[in-house]
Structure 1
Amino acid sequence: MNSQLQDIVTECTRASDESRMSFPEVVGALMKAGVERYYTDLIRSEKIYYMPDGDNIAVAARPIGIEPANEFDPADVEAAIRAIQAKKITYHEFCRQIMAAGCVNYIVSLSGRRAVYLGRTGEAHVEPFPGAN
């Protein structure tokens, strides 16, 4: 793994945490760098970025500071997605809202153009990227 890629994924993580980059900007930067997908562990406050060959980089993220709900509520996850897309909330607030909806991690597939939000017992909400339908 080269240091330039390490710098890009670290900056994307920090810029998201600090609301300096929107999701579309992060996706664009990661795609340009060749990242295939990333996994966000909301409990561990960590993102793992994967390249097509399986090489990966783990980056610490800003802790969210709440416990996730026991029950997964896909409607509340979707409402948080719509709120961040409308720029009504920050990324940190988005993470707080999806955790309150029972989400513990999510996977973003850049090549698949979708995000999958997961609950404690495997429940899922699949969200295609805007315009990817």
Structure 2
Amino acid sequence: MDVAVIEECALASHEERISFGEVVERLIGAGVERYHVDLVRGESTYFMPDGQSHRVTYRPVDTRPADSFSAESVLAAVRSIQAGRTKYLTFCRQIMEAGCVGYLVSMQGRRAVYCGRSGETYVEPFPANR
């Protein structure tokens, strides 16, 4: 497990100096299979195929997730960051305002799954060019 790559990806995301595509490419290169972001707790857990994991903690975003989940609002936030109109921390605030409490990124499954308080989900496949 390349902990240095994992921690650099987490830091670079929160400093808004790396895109989602770059994060995915670097994590794949480091052998990461998937990762889970807990927006409320301010932590991400990265999982390797052999069962190892590494958790990175950071200061949580200063937004409380909405009580109800809006897949349409999550999609709007995803499209905005994909188009370069927003950066990572704004994206996190937007999806929390849409009721998202966390998300799972599966490199193997080539998708991100955004989750609400009551188990609602929105699944976003990776863009075709990834």
TM-score of the pair, normalised by structure 1:
0.95
Q: Which of these residues, 87, 91, 109, is aligned with residue 88 of structure 2?
A: 91
Question: Partner amino acid for 2:71?
Answer: P
Q: Which runs of 5+ in 2 are unaligned?
A: none
Is the 1:106–1:118 contact (alpha carbons within 8 Å) kept by the matching residues of 2? yes
Which moved further from structure 2: 107-116 or 54-63? Answer: 54-63
Question: How many residues in Structure 1 have an aligned counterpart in Structure 2?
Answer: 129
For residues 1-133 of structure 1, the aligned pairs below 5 Å read 1=1, 5-131=2-128
Displacement after TM superposition at 1:6 (Å): 1.1
SS at match of 2:18: coil
SS at match of 1:78: helix
Q: Which runs of 5+ in 1 are unaligned?
A: none
SS at match of 1:105: strand
TM-score of the pair, normalised by structure 2:
0.97
Runs of 4+ in structure 1 off by over 3 angstroms are: none
Displacement after TM superposition at 1:39 (Å): 0.2
Please give the alpha-carbon distance, in whole angstroms, between the structure 1 residues aligned to 2:37 and 2:58.
Answer: 9
Displacement after TM superposition at 1:62 (Å): 3.6
